Amino acid sequence: EAQVTQNPRYLITVTGKKLTVTCSQNMNHEYMSWYRQDPGLGLRQIYYSMNVEVTDKGDVPEGYKVSRKEKRNFPLILESPSPNQTSLYFCASSPDLGSSYEQYFGPGTRLTVT
C-alpha cells in the first residue's frame, strides 16, 4: 500500500529532551516536507526537501532540524524542545515538483512538550 508513515503518532516529552519524529514514504517520491498545524494558525511549513541531501527552510524552521540521507526517509529533529513546539505535525511527500503537486500526507504526530 502506498503510504507515508510517521512515528511516533503521539508523544509527550519534557523541555530540552531531544527527540526525533520519523517519516517514511514507499512511493519513491522526490519531494518531502514537514508541517505543523496549530489552532488558529493553520498548516505551516517547517522544512522541505526536493531530493536526497537537498533541504531548505519553510516558514517556521526555528528549533527544528531535518536530514535527507535516503530518498524514502525525512526525519524531523527537535534538539531542545520547548512548550511552544507543542503541535500536530504532518509529514508529506510528492512525486515531483511542477504544477501537478499532489502531496500525500502522513497520519500526523501529536507532540506535547511540558
Say how far apart CA 102 and CA 10 lie, in whole Å. Answer: 26
> Are 31 and 55 in contact, with CB atoms under 8 Å apart?
no
- Contacts with another protein by CB under 8 A: the residue count is 25
Interface of this chain with another protein, residues 25 to 84, rule: CB under 8 A: 33, 35, 40-45, 48, 50, 56, 58-59
Task: Report the nearest approach of another protein to the CB of residue 46 (Å).
Answer: 11
- CA distances from residue 76 to 1, 8, 40, 89, 99 in whole angstroms, order as listed: 23, 11, 23, 10, 26
- Shortest separation between residue 29's beta carbon and another protein, angstroms: 14
Which chain residues interact with another protein by CB under 8 A? Answer: 33, 35, 40-45, 48, 50, 56, 58-59, 90, 97-103, 105-108
